[in-house]
Structure 1
Amino acid sequence: MIKRKKIYIEALRILAIFLVLFQHVPAFDYYLQDTSHVMGHLFFTLIAKINVPLFLMISGSLLLNREEGYREIFRKRMIKIILAILIFNFLVYLAENQFVFDLQDYCLGVFENGIDRSYWYLYSYLGFLVMMPLLHRIAQKMTKNDFILILFIHFVFSTIEPLLQWFVPTYLGQSFEFTWAFRIPFSTIKEIFYPLMGYYIDRKIHIESIHKKTLAGLGCLSLLGILISMFFTIWIGNQEGFSDEYLELFDYVSALSAFILIKSFFVHYEAVIPAWISQKIVLLGSVTYGVYLWDPFFRKLFFDGFDQFMIPWVGGFFSSVLWCICSFLVCGILVQFLKRIPKVKSLF
């Protein structure tokens, strides 16, 4: 029998990886190009912004409950990430340069943040792993008040501060930038904030006891946050030009709500979900990391041709969406095959 936790975690992974793929194709910022349908395109862009927060929350839930030393973390986890950085940046480098290789150019690209910017998350994740033993000890002692305080401080810096920086010049007529010197890492650095949030929500909040009205309220709160972000993006965009400046005003609200709502769904309805569907969810969830690694390589090789072929039929936005679906399936099949190879499977 498939464990309840594994099903909802894998479902969250599937959602997160699809949103990651979406963020790497033109549809993600289509609102900048097609202003006649800006609201529809912007809505999907704002939904996609929860992708990395979801992955970090999943990592917090799964890893901050484990007491692992630095040596064990390096051996079991960090080496795997470092190898992925070296191997897949190499493959993308070849695809980007017509399979002509220059060692110096490749090495500089790897250390500068990756040959393909899509791999920035691997570097970020290494930072999380370095902090994992300390975050584990912090997470074990977290209380409800700690959770609320960290969340409130994140609200101040992610929502209030950007709005202040718009309000003061607009209505007081003078330039303003909130001091850079006052920052609280536990709330302002994503690689710390989201793992702690994911751990607390998954390990210390009893989802079964959350009333349906509260769940509905979370959904409404997320929608309200998206609408406010859309309002500022469109309003200011019409005056000064569209940008991504206000896309993360409430992404944390949507991410935390999505985690709670999806977990709640599987907690309450797992018993009536057919076993074969649960098995498919777990299977698809198990290849998400590999899909993330392989997608930039195939995107470099084939996306432009795919996009040019599909646009006359379905338009630019849906061409990108179809690419996400096709990439997930192709990369997922490849990863399943590679997982059968003994020396290779540990990479995924």
Structure 2
Amino acid sequence: MKNLNHDTKPKKERIFYYDFLRAFAIIAVIICHVDHFFGPLTGTTQIIAQMTFHDIGRIGVPIFLMISGALLLNREYPDLGQFLKKRFARIIYPFIFWIILILAQLTYYGYNQTFIWNVFIGEPSITWYFWVLIGIYLFLPILNSFVKEYGENGLKYFLAIWFMIMVLKTFNSYPLWANFDLSYFAGYVGYPILGYYLANKEFKVTDAKMCIAGFVTLLISLGVFVYLNYYSSNLISLIYQNIPIIFMGSGLFIFVRYLDKLNKFNSIKDNFVGKAIISLSVCSYGMYFSHVLVVKFLSYYNPHSHLMFPVMFASIIFLSWLLPYVLSKIPYVKIFSGL
């Protein structure tokens, strides 16, 4: 693993595989919110296909958090106040802007005040992720000091306990005893640590084998997750805090990282595809909010057709990207766009 006790500075150049993962993650998040654009599901095959598509979307949030850890941990932050100010400014201003638009849209469509308030605090909507980020950023300086102080052994220690807790959570067995409090290791905070570890760990096998291992891990864990959802949904009530999701996110992260190390992205980095991936990555936080507006609007024009679903899905992605992209070009508004 790279020297964890060496103060590294953020690089100015973009890391393409992070952009690829972030672009995939925002598309995955949108996947989770477009189920109702399918036509009627009339058979087991269609139900499993739709469930598989939906469950692929569950990778999005873990990947976002893993990238945050890979980029923000083991850094030198001499001024804690400046760090918090910078991180919070990047997420709070866009949240205020987009949540006003989201709540105005819901008011226009006649939703009651209780529902609208719950949307704001993240109960029935995707805005819960914003509040998760607040908690992560408040805790990040402590995690950063821990990583810098204890290096790889500290990472393994933290991840081992976190993994054990996720096993318990997967089967709804946490806590085992009321006073056995391991909450500091629980929840979403493990994903940034995991992301940093996987981004910097040098495994003692070839890049090609690691790439294959990541892809196989992704496929197997996705299959397990779909199976559990279909046959035993009560076993995995915490959709982002369970073992299959951890392996899905880890498998995808490793797969994409080693594709990059094998130079598989070189042919697309500088062409239209590569530029589109980078643009989706840059716009991803704004898209996280804008797609709520787009999905709600287009739901009133839903054809409920399997054949039309690809068109609707592509339209949602494009419009969700277009809104923050256009806003980022307007003077004095860019700070609110999410870019």
Q: Deviations over 1:195-224 (max 9, x none)?
A: 11112222x323796442233233323332
> Which among 244, 267, 275 is matched to residue 270 of structure 2?
275
> Which among 334, 337, 345 is matched to residue 323 of structure 2?
334
> Which among 226, 237, 241 is matched to residue 245 of structure 1?
237
Describe the SS at the equivalent of 2:70.
Answer: helix
Give the aligned partner of residue 128 of structure 2. Answer: 120
Q: Is the contact between residue 158 and residue 185 of structure 2 (CA under 8 Å) also seen in structure 1? A: yes
The CA distance in 2 between the partners of 1:71 and 1:177, in whole Å, is 35
Give the fraction of aligned pairs with identical amino acids, expressed as a percent: 21
The CA distance in 2 between the partners of 1:48 and 1:30, in whole Å, is 19
The CA distance in 1 between the partners of 2:238 and 2:282, in whole Å, is 33
Contiguous gaps of at least 5 residues in structure 1 = 166-175
Matched, 1:52 2:61: yes
> Which among 78, 82, 95 is matched to residue 85 of structure 1?
95
Deviation at 1:255, TM superposition (A): 0.3
Q: Is the contact between residue 85 and residue 122 of structure 1 (CA under 8 Å) also seen in structure 2? A: yes
1:164-183 correspondence to structure 2 within 5 Å: 178-183=176-181
Deviation at 1:14, TM superposition (A): 0.8
Seen in structure 2, the aligned counterparts of structure 1 residues 179 and 47 have a Cα distance that, compared at 3 Å, is farther
The CA distance in 2 between the partners of 1:147 and 1:28, in whole Å, is 42
Describe the SS at the equivalent of 2:243.
Answer: coil
Give the aligned partner of residue 187 of structure 2. Answer: 189
Matched, 1:22 2:17: no
Describe the SS at the equivalent of 1:275.
Answer: coil
The CA distance in 2 between the partners of 1:92 and 1:107, in whole Å, is 9
The AA in structure 2 aligned to 1:141 is E
Seen in structure 2, the aligned counterparts of structure 1 residues 189 and 164 have a Cα distance that, compared at 3 Å, is closer
The CA distance in 1 between the partners of 2:231 and 2:156, in whole Å, is 32
Matched, 1:141 2:133: no
Deviation at 1:281, TM superposition (A): 2.2
The CA distance in 1 between the partners of 2:46 and 2:316, in whole Å, is 26
Q: Is the contact between residue 61 and residue 198 of structure 1 (CA under 8 Å) also seen in structure 2? A: yes
Q: Is the contact between residue 169 and residue 238 of structure 2 (CA under 8 Å) also seen in structure 1? A: no
Q: Flag the structure with higher helix content.
A: 1
Seen in structure 2, the aligned counterparts of structure 1 residues 29 and 47 have a Cα distance that, compared at 3 Å, is farther
The AA in structure 2 aligned to 1:159 is V
1:33-44 correspondence to structure 2 within 5 Å: 35-44=44-53
- TM-score between both structures, scaled by the size of structure 1: 0.78
Q: Deviations over 1:16-73 (max 9, x none)?
A: 0011111122269999996453332232233221111100011111122433333213
Deviation at 1:345, TM superposition (A): 1.1
Q: Is the contact between residue 210 and residue 254 of structure 2 (CA under 8 Å) also seen in structure 1? A: no
Q: Is the contact between residue 19 and residue 49 of structure 1 (CA under 8 Å) also seen in structure 2? A: yes
> Which among 240, 253, 256 is matched to residue 259 of structure 1?
253
Describe the SS at the equivalent of 1:49.
Answer: helix
The CA distance in 1 between the partners of 2:17 and 2:159, in whole Å, is 23
Give the aligned partner of residue 230 of structure 1. Answer: 226
Q: How many residues of Structure 1 are paired with residues of Structure 2 in the alignment?
A: 322
Q: Is the contact between residue 287 and residue 320 of structure 2 (CA under 8 Å) also seen in structure 1? A: yes
Deviation at 1:333, TM superposition (A): 2.1
Q: Deviations over 1:271-327 (max 9, x none)?
A: 44452143332222111111112111222222231x2x2x2462xxx62x5444212
Deviation at 1:344, TM superposition (A): 1.3
Describe the SS at the equivalent of 1:78.
Answer: helix
Seen in structure 2, the aligned counterparts of structure 1 residues 157 and 177 have a Cα distance that, compared at 3 Å, is closer
Give the aligned partner of residue 198 of structure 2. Answer: 201
The CA distance in 1 between the partners of 2:119 and 2:229, in whole Å, is 33
